[in-house]
Amino acid sequence: MEASTQEASFQGGGLYFEDLVVGVEMLSPARTVTEADVVLFAGLSGDHNPLHTDAEFAKRSRFGRPVAHGLLGLVIASGLAYRLGFLEGTVEAFLSAEWKFRHPFSIGDTVRIRAQVKQKTPVPGESAGLVAFGIDLLSQRDEVLQRGQWLMLIKLRDAALGAHRRRARAR
């Protein structure tokens, strides 16, 4: 895969550590934030701040309208990353996230992510390597709403093949 922006879905499984190229960008499909998203997130998180759940209160706020929970943006970004398919079956752990909230978003906004492979670090003696991804949550106007870096442990292809061969020999 060349170091460019890809609008892609990796059907049939994720990318292994060896497949990921530093500099490659991927754009997710878009999704529109719904009232159900905000209500369900408020219920799940217990965050019923009126900025998110009370239209009349929110009208008098600095935003002039209800805004989605900031952490809902991170959760949506995670789901959009998974929808890209490059993590399917190859991510072993989500280790950390550094995340910045730049602009609010609301019900009716359509968002997507831009994911870029920033850094790869082999882990000696392990069956996986560390991969840092730069993630931007973008609005329908391509405005960066939220931005951060995620560190994940991604399987090595060779380790996966070795485990498959060991299982085959054991049969």
Q: Token pair 């309208």 is at which residue?
A: 65
153, 92 contact by CB (below 8 A) = yes
Within the chain, strands assigned E span 5-7, 25-27, 31-32, 91-101, 110-122, 128-138, 144-155
| Across 9-13, 33-37, 70-74, least confident range | 9-13
Q: How many angstroms separate the first and last alpha carbons of the chain?
A: 36
Across the chain, which distance is largest between two alpha carbons, in Å?
Answer: 68
Which CATH code for domain 5-170? Answer: 3.10.129.10
Condensed to tens digits (0 to 9), the pLDDT of residues 131-144 reads 999 999 999 999 99
Condensed to tens digits (0 to 9), the pLDDT of residues 54-107 reads 999 999 999 999 999 999 999 999 999 999 999 999 999 999 999 999 999 999
Q: In this predicted structure, what is the pLDDT of residue 3? A: 46
- Ordered by start, the domain boundaries in the chain are 5-170
Is 71 in a helix, a strand, or coil?
helix
Confidence of residue 158 (pLDDT cuts 50, 70, 90): confident
Which pairs count as long-range contacts for 11-15, CB under 8 Å and 24+ apart, including other chains?
Answer: 11/85, 13/85, 13/88, 13/89, 13/90, 14/85, 14/86, 14/87, 14/88, 14/89, 14/90, 14/91, 14/154, 15/86, 15/87, 15/90, 15/154
Q: Is the pLDDT of residue 2 over 90?
A: no
